Amino acid sequence: MSSAPPSSPADPADCGLTIFWDDRLASYDFGPGHPMNPVRVELTMALARELELTERPNVRVATFEAAGDKLLGLVHEEPYIAAVRHAGATGLPEVRHGLGTPDNPVFPGMHDASALVTGASVAAAEAVWTGGAEHAANISGGLHHALSGAASGFCVYNDPAVAIARLLENGAERVAYVDIDVHHGDGVQAAFYDDPRVLTISLHETPRTLFPGTGFPNETGGPGAEGTAVNVALPPGTGDAPWLRAFDAIVPPLLRRFRPQVLVTQHGADGHALDPLAHLILSVDGQRTAYAALHRLAHETAGGRWVVTGGGGYELVQVVPRAWTHLLAEAAGGPIPPETATPDGWRDFVQRRTGEVAPRRMTDGTSVVEVHRWGNGYDPASPVDQAVLATRRAVFPEHGLDPMTDE
């Protein structure tokens, strides 16, 4: 494949989206009581359909193939792939590979389900790279904790890392990965820590209070790749405005300087205030604002080539379906107005499927979230500003940027 992929339109409102979806993606299921319940992706796709997002003329729902061992081997060790296959076939744990733990219990067909998720992300990356799609999405993906030889944090195969590795194999010279999950994107960082072709940026709750315990500002990349691992470790209690301030202070200047050929993003919705596993207090509206910012940056810095994945998110009814439906609508160039009512048919489906009462609107009540930009001044008493400055000091000089001014 060509190392000079075609560009997409410069206007985020003038673009198309391919969603890689198969109902079998819901087979990635660790079982009853596990936080990673696939109902969240079922409800997301149901909401997108009820809002007629999938009927838009510029949106296509596409099929794909599961990732084979050769593709998985771009990131994962052969003995690990064999262990996943064996565990899923026998039900026996492979604890040395992180399989059969409370976080990653063995389930029947584990390899096939995990390879299917990875196949969707690889298909999305290939579609964007070849020009078959302007933007492409796999909301079941974003399993960013899986390591080369072990499952971790509900993640068996690291689909975003495999997708990025496939882009590199196909000739990409610069790929940027931005991870806005509340947990550090440790597996993707580890896969490319020594590779200067890949810029990984993760905004997450500080590892002092949250799994996986990595993602400090001083994790900046290995020899020859200094400054290509970027970590913003935010304090518990960070809400929309300070989170977006941190994003604005880190992500745009680095993407503008790096100029990726493809932007890959992970959109864990677990930074929301209602999420049961973490301690940030974002709203769906703040998350929606971040999606719009990433969309603009994809067009500004990566020729419009944007690969979108899901990620974490464990408030299965109130948060994830709305957040990711907003994400898909944004990627399709037609954001859903936040005051939009959720369709009656979807609310009925939620009641039947989960027994819960669905949210009635696509907003948490804040239609516009104001961003207090870094360039307007630094507050030394602010824990968020302290975290941002630590990151900027750690990596900005490696990119020829001033930690205080972006210049």
Active-site residues, by number, are 145
Q: Is 24 exposed, middle or buried (0-12, 13-18, 19+ CB in 10 A)?
A: middle
The SS3 of residue 319 is coil
CA triple 239-311-143, angle to 5 deg: 140
- How far is residue 253's CA from residue 250's CA, in Å, rounded to a whole number? 6
Whether 42 contacts 1, CB under 8 Å: no
Q: What is the DSSP string of 18-80?
A: EEE--GGGGG----TT-S--THHHHHHHHHHHHTTGGGSTTEEEE------HHHHTTTS-HHH
Residue 240 CB neighbours (<10 A): 24
First to last CA, the chain: 36
Whether 225 contacts 270, CB under 8 Å: no
Residue 7 is encoded by which pair of tokens? 């560009």
Q: Is 90 exposed, middle or buried (0-12, 13-18, 19+ CB in 10 A)?
A: exposed
